[in-house]
Amino acid sequence: MPVAGLLLLLCLAIAFCGLTYAVRPAGPEVVAPGRLAVVRAALMTAVFAVLTVEGLGAIGRLSLVPVAAAWLVFVVAALAAAALRHRRAPWRPRLRPRHWWREAGLAERLLAGTVGGLLLLELLVALLAEPNNFDSQTYHLPKVEHWVAQGSLELWPTAIHRQVTIPPGAEYLLLHLRLLTGGDGLYHLIQWGAGLGAVLLVSRITAQLGGGRRAQLLSAFVLACTPMVVLQATSTQTDLVVAAWVGVVATLVLDGLRRPANATMVLGLGAATGLTALTKTSGLLGVGPMLLFWGVVQLRTALAGDHRAVKAAKVIGASVLVLATAAVVTGPFMARMTVEFDHPLGPPRLRESIPMQRHDPASILVNGVRIAHTALDVPVPPLTAATAAGIVAFAEAIGVDPQDRAITFGKETFPVPAWYPDEDRAAFPITGTLALIALALALIRPARLITDDRRNELRGYALAVLASGILHIVMIKWQTWGNRLLLYALVLAVPLVGLWLDTLLRRRAASGRRPVATVVISAVLAVAAVAGLLSVVYGYPRRLVGAESVLTNDDWETRFIRRPQWADEYRWAADAVRDSGARRIGLVQLNDDWEYPWWLLLRDPDGGSPQIVSLRSTLPERPAADPATVDAIICAGARRECERLTPAGWRLEHRDHVGYALPPG
């Protein structure tokens, strides 16, 4: 990593702390003001990063110097804002961390220590492991390399449409790291930071709903120990990022339940909504009900007093401003999609592959029970086999094919084992079961979760969470890796778990039955902690121990953990092409092949991007390059296509998965 890039990143970290200080809320009525300040600073930083990419990309200046200059301006502005805020209102913390630790009991210390320990272990893996997520090799990381190579966001011919059609919010953040550091060594920090943010968010939401310190720690503990959260926190996937943005919307909505909307609230909600849509549109299934909840409460409050018409108009105006702010963040990307595909959500194959195509009650019910079965999978094969067989029989009995392509993604087949700690499939039976119970209690008997005057707010929040889950079942087909798509729903639901467990402990203590409740809850939490620890220590495809440990494998082996048989083949083909002196290289691949290794292997000695052009294109308006215009051809997973596209007289070499072709001589 260049020293200049490292210094700039250090300055950015300092600037973020300064910005957090500058935007801290004032007033004793604010719940968890420190965590809210972190939320505000994260929103401002992410929006700045997105708008910087969009602005520089529009003028073709996506390169190190302009991006570094933009961040230097950000650093100066953040530190100036912090200094100005300190001059106007010096901050004196009400409770120092060491005092909090001294006041906490043994149980609270164990909860906090476990969360902190897991986060530190995840950080270790995130820093040691090279990116090896399957989707990242195919489209997440290649799109970053294309932006760097061309210096703009212009779409390019590609055989993998997801490189240009999937929302790029998380990749925009990766692009900054790529330009500032020259590589991918810090890529995992984006999702790790999102995981840390999600833990802070669920604890704050718990506090906003009336939970005390123990309830907040319980929420943070349950989420932090969820295997999918642990595994995603060291990945270059995007699900934890979108879950964090949905959590931001939720915590800002709860802030707006007891006071009229102001500019800070509206701009924050709009920015978080835009970042959610720009990262993964499925997150809007969680954002929509939360914004509706906020709008209803705001409108009810406006109609309860004097000047109703004026206040109602202000609420409507605030709602419009939320959407307008979101459009500023996500609008440029959607405009490019509209120009290219005549639709803001991309081509038909994208819009029809993931969303449900049948919406009759029977199909929705079957989709829901299949999603629940995969999410709650446990390592007891007879049990999972029996329940899966029962679901299949039930579906057939009500006239629904459980493998119907209209309700099942791609060529996947239900059921699939999901209990193993794999970043794409890991189930969450403990967190999921607790969340379902707590959600039911919040809807039916909110007094079982809290005892103050926030019961209506709790029930309204629970209704929004329920609506998010129902929308997910109605809109998203069952798929093998669908568990990771539910992370945003877990972030919304886990605060209810913390409230319920804390209330259960308090009620049992008051009735004299504390030992039994404590033992049961402690056992459940202990199992959850073991699951989280095993996920970070022995998870897949990045683990700390075992034959595939990030501590013992070299970087190239780590990148190919999922397909070790491909590692030598990629090097073999890249060496031959590089030795030939080829400058313009044609690429032949299919929709699910790995492109990213080529960008690493064929990079110029000075770190410059290679000139790689696709010889196949799924974009109607972006024709593929002519094979006659390239100096060499590289292929992955498409031998017949490689043979078809290789010019006559060229020498073609191909192994099991990878090949290359060179002209005579």
Domain ranges of the chain: 3-90+130-353, 361-512, 558-662
Q: Which residues of 295-332 are buried (b: 16+ CB within 10 A; e: fewer)?
A: bebbbebbeeeeeeeebeeebeebbebbeebbbbbbbb
Render pLDDT for 617-650 as a digit per residue (tens, 0 to 9): 999 899 999 999 999 999 998 889 999 999 999 9
Task: Please report the pLDDT score of residue 637 as a whole number.
Answer: 87
The per-residue b/e assignment along 222-251, b for 16 or more CB within 10 angstroms, e otherwise, is bbbbbbbbbbbbbbbbbbbbbbbbbbbbbb
pTM of the model: 0.96
Evaluate whether 403 touches 410 at the Cβ level (below 8 Å). no
> What is the per-residue pLDDT for 268?
96
With CA atoms as reference, report the closest residue to 207 among 522, 498, 507, 521: 498
State the Cα–Cα distance between residues 240 and 243, nearest whole angstrom: 5
* d(C-alpha 82, C-alpha 62), whole Å: 29
Q: Please provide the DSSP assignment of 402-467 as one string.
A: TT-TTTB-TT--S-----S-BTTT---HHHHHHHHHHHHHHHH-GGGT--STTHHHHHHHHHHHHH
Question: What does the pLDDT read at residue 54?
Answer: 97
User: pLDDT tier at 207 (50, 70, 90 boundaries)?
Assistant: very high
Nearest to 472 by CA among 374, 341, 332: 374
Distance CA 108, CA 101 (A): 9
Can you tell me the distance from the alpha carbon of 271 to that of 47, in angstroms, rounded to the nearest whole number?
7
Residue 515: count other Cβ atoms within 10 Å of its Cβ.
Answer: 10
Taking a C-beta distance cutoff of 8 angstroms, is the pair 627, 655 a contact? no
Q: Residues 384-423: pLDDT tens digits?
A: 999 999 999 999 999 999 999 999 998 999 999 999 999 9
d(C-alpha 601, C-alpha 336), whole Å: 31
Q: Tokens 């959407």 belong to which residue? A: 323
Q: What is the pLDDT of residue 89?
A: 77
Mean pLDDT of the residues in the chain: 92
pLDDT at 27: 75
Give residue 508's pLDDT: 59
Q: Which H/E stretch holds residue 629? A: none
Cα four-point dihedral sign 462, 463, 468, 470:
positive
Angle, alpha carbons 658-663-665 (nearest 5°): 120
- Confidence (pLDDT) at 5: 65
With cut-offs at 50, 70 and 90, classify the pLDDT of residue 2.
Answer: low
Strands across the sheet containing 658-662: 611-614, 584-589, 632-636, 658-662, 651-654
Compute the Cα dihedral for 151, 156, 160, 164 and give only its sign.
Answer: positive
For residue 171, the model assigns a pLDDT of 98
Residue 555 has pLDDT above 80, yes or no: yes
Q: How many angstroms separate the first and last alpha carbons of the chain?
A: 38
Quick check: 98 pLDDT over 90? no
- State how far the Cα of 508 lies from the Cα of 514, in Å rounded to an integer: 5
pLDDT of residue 505: 85
Chain-centre distance for alpha carbon 426: 15
pLDDT tens string 139-159: 999 999 999 999 999 999 999
Burial class (CB in 10 A: 0-12, 13-18, 19+), 566: buried
Q: What is the pLDDT of residues 292-312, one digit of tens each?
A: 999 999 998 888 877 778 888
